[in-house]
Structures are given as C-alpha cells and as structure tokens.
Amino acid sequence: MKLYSTNNRDLRVDFPTAVFNSMPLDKGLYMPVDIPRLNQEFIDQIDQYSLPQIAFKVASALLKDAIPATDLKIIIDDAINFDAPVLRLADNDYVLELFHGPSLAFKDFGARFMSRVMGYFLKKNEQMLDVLVATSGDTGGAVALGFLGVENTRVTILYPKGKVSDIQELQLCTNGQNIHAIEVDGTFDDCQHLVKQAFADEELNKKLRLTSANSINIARLIPQTFYYFNAYAQLRQQGKKDIVFVVPSGNFGNIAAGLLAYRMGLPVKQFVAATNVNDTVPRFLETGVYQTRPSVQTYANAMDVGAPSNWVRIMDLFNQDKSALQQVMKGYRFTDEETLEGIDAIYNEFNYVACPHTAIAWLALQEYRMETADQESTGVFLSTAHPCKFPDVFPKEIKANVQVPEQVAVLVKKQKHATAMDTSFESFKSYLLTFC
Ligand SMILES: *Cc1c(COP(=O)(O)O)cnc(C)c1O
C-alpha cells in the first residue's frame, strides 16, 4: 500500500510510515494512492459474511501487501471482536449501533485496529512506543482500552480535571498495566497544549519514541469502513436497498470512512452529515463556501469542532469537485434545544434511549425525509456512543432507563489511579523523563 499527502500528491510513503508519523511533515493527511473497487461478486454475496470476514476482505483490498494475510486476519479477529448490529426502529428507519466495544463508542473500531497494527510493526527489540493523548472524554477511553496490554507500547492520557463524565474518568483511570492517566488542573486546551509542547521538545524526542495516535491516523480511518459494509450486509439480508447513511459528525472521520467505502463500491444512495451548531460543513453544502469557525460547546460535545480535520480527505475523495460531493452528501445542524427534543421524541415514540450525538443523527434523518419527500429509502442513522456516557444530558425519567453495560458497571469497583498535575510544561516533562 502506498499513501500520499493531501498537501503533496507526489509524496509516497508505505503504510508503517504513515501509521507511525500519523501526519506528514507538510501537515496534510495521508490518503491511499489507489482506492480499490471490491469485486461485484463479493458485494452481491456480502450478506453471507460475518463482520470480521467483511473487515478482512476490505482491509486486504486497501492494505495490499502491507501486512501478510495470516497476520492481518489475527489483527482483525482480535481488534473487531464485538458486534455492530443494525436495529429497526420504525418503518424504514434503522439505527446502526457502534457502541458495543470496550469504551462504548465507535472510536473503539479505530483505536483497537490502530493499536494492534502499531504493536505488529514494532519489532521485538525496538524502543518502547510512547503514545500521548489529550482527551475531552471519548478519545482517551478508546485509546486507553485499545492499547491496554499491547506489547512495547505505553500510553499517557491527559484529561481536564472535573470536565469528563464519571464513566469516562473510570475508563481512563482504572486500567493499570501500560496505561497512565494524568488529571490536569485546567481545560482540554491546556491538555492539548502540553502534548503539543512534548512533541516539539528536543530532549524528549531524543530520549523517547513519541507518537500521538490521534484521530487523523490512517489506521483509525480504515477500520471505520468495515461497519458500513457490514450494515449493508445486514440490510441486504432483509431485502432492503437504497440506503441513506446519517452520520453524527465532528471531525468528519466517521463519514469520511463511509465515503471511502462508497468509493470502494459500497452501494449507498445518500450520505447525510448531522452536526450540532458547529455547522461548518452543512453551511458549505448549502452555500458552497467553506468557512471554519471557533468551536462552540454543546451537549453533543464529541462533535464540538469548528474546523473538521478530515475535511481535506473528503474533498480529495471527490477530486475537489464540489458539485459531485453535494450530490452524494447533505448536511443538517441542530441546536441543544432540538437535541433534547430529539432525545425525548425517540424515547417516547420508540422506547429507545439515544445519546445526544445519536439523537442529532436521528433528527437529521427526519429532516432529510421531509426536505426530499423520500420516505422509501432505507434510513440508517449511526449511534456513535452508549447513552450511559452522557448521564447529565437526560431528564430523570429517561436517565432511569439507561442501562449501564456490564463492562462499565465493574469499573466502579476498581481502584482509580491518576497523577494530579498543573498546566506547566516543566511538570509534564519531568513526569515523562521518569520513563527513561
Ligand atoms: C468522536 C465522536 C463523534 C464524531 O466523530 P467524527 O469522526 O469526529 O466526525 C460523534 N459521536 C461520538 C459519540 C464521538 O465520540
């Protein structure tokens, strides 16, 4: 597999280089030079395959010889070891639940695959890989649980004190082994600033092998294509076609993976990007003008992004052709008030509790149906997280109906461990130097 940079089409790197660099030096993003089309026979029989089997087919086509088949199969069976069921909610409306992994969010797909790929490429006697992550909640849990126990890796997570939910904090602070949590007396931006300073620090880079494992890593994007194919397989089994995927979006990695799957031959009628008031993309789709804005805080906080980092990937997938993109993708935005109304409506009509991000996707599906008068298509909205991760958003009655899954319930009994730290870089640097 060869990859180029979205800032330089002539650049060519191999897959391991792209994985360990995360980002090219020119600050573009890595994209596959060749986007293979899966053969029609496979697509036509896809309903006979399981999720790991589908994942293996898709990954082999993209990665080519980057990882030999037997090794790739082991990586996938280990990483993709939970389901992504499509449930029927009403008429032609379906929910694709992506929260059955260990951190209860779709980011588990990306983080688990990436961690195992990194572990695979790290040769036995190589220097330990130090993964640094700043998190406002969801990313940290997925990365922590993704790397837990992966040999030759050590993860340091920085999170803002008092600003992540209880469950999120438990997911960060109860792992032990190769996972370290730091509770920063500051904001998420302070955490991110500390990580950035570490990457820019000469001494640290000399003594440690640092990587960011962040959401723009190509090894996080690839596994997110798997569940789009798998959702199609489940719906095909039921004789459903004309699929409209509705994706709650922040950095637009999830929907970028859907569009990549589409370019690989997945039959999709329409993509719909659902956002909160951080609506850079819906505004672009409507006006053709792309203008980023500073982010605004909302209930769907994993989507509080004013400048979506994966946007350049999406434009590249469409060769910068705005009108081609506008035909395949629509976008709608919703306020916090509408989000709460959505949560209520889904609960009252279907007895289903949706997290705020998921509720926004459901709202967008309804809006799409209204605007286009399209009632016939099969609408699939992606549920990106389990509602128990966002307990403070729900009214009492709904909250009482949120079941906490076993893998989280057991965390409450575990010992929490985090190192308290101020926001000065000196503190963080001397902490990291104790690893040497
Ligand atoms: C990260 C996240 C999103 C946004 O996904 P992107 O790939 O950044 O668009 C949506 N919902 C939840 C619950 C998330 O954790």
Convert the pLDDT of each residue in 296-331 to its tens digit. Answer: 999 999 999 999 999 999 999 999 999 999 999 999
User: pLDDT tens digits, residue range 359-374?
Assistant: 999 999 999 999 999 9
Does residue 214's CB lie within 6 angstroms of at least one atom of ligand 1?
A: no
Angle 285-287-290 (CA atoms, 0-180°, nearest 5)?
70
Q: Please name the fold of domain 80-103+219-404.
A: Rossmann fold (3.40.50)
DSSP 3-state of 85: coil
Distance 221 CA to ligand 1 centre (A): 12
Pick from 115, 109, 181, 107: which is nearest to 152 by CA? 115
Q: Domain spans of the chain? A: 80-103+219-404
Closest ligand 1 atom to the C-alpha of 389? 13
The answer to whether 358 and 380 are in contact (CB under 8 A) is: no
pLDDT of residue 116: 95
Q: What pTM value is reported for the model? A: 0.95
User: pLDDT tens digits, residue range 5-50?
Assistant: 999 999 999 999 999 988 898 989 999 999 999 999 999 999 999 9
Closest ligand 1 atom to the C-alpha of 256? 7
pLDDT of residue 408: 87
* Separate counts of helices (H) and strands (E) for the chain: 20, 14
Q: What whole-number percentage of the chain has pLDDT above 70?
A: 100
User: pLDDT tens digits, residue range 47-75?
Assistant: 999 999 999 999 999 999 999 999 999 99
Instruction: Give the containing element (helix H, strand E) for 356.
Output: helix 356-372
Distance 274 CA to ligand 1 centre (A): 11
Does residue 356's CB lie within 6 angstroms of at least one atom of ligand 1?
A: no
| Helix intervals (H) in 98-187 | 107-121, 138-147, 166-173
* Residue ranges with strand state E in 241-349: 243-248, 270-275, 329-333
C-alpha separations of 428 from 156, 161, 168, 312, 422 in Å: 11, 15, 22, 32, 8
What is the average pLDDT score of the chain?
Answer: 95
Does residue 230's CB lie within 6 angstroms of at least one atom of ligand 1?
A: no
C-alpha separations of 435 from 180, 259, 285, 310 in Å: 11, 41, 48, 33
For a mutational test of ligand 1's pocket, the pick from 303, 314, 355, i.e. the residue with the most ligand atoms closer than 8 A to its C-beta, is 303
Beta carbons within 8 Å of 34's beta carbon, 6+ residues apart? 1, 2
pLDDT of residue 334: 98
Using the predicted structure, report yes or no on whether residue 125 has a pLDDT greater than 80: no
The number of C-alpha atoms within 13 Å of 198 and in the hemisphere containing its C-beta is 29
Task: Report the chain's C-alpha Rg in angstroms.
Answer: 21
Q: Whose CA is nearest to atom 8 of ligand 1?
A: 251
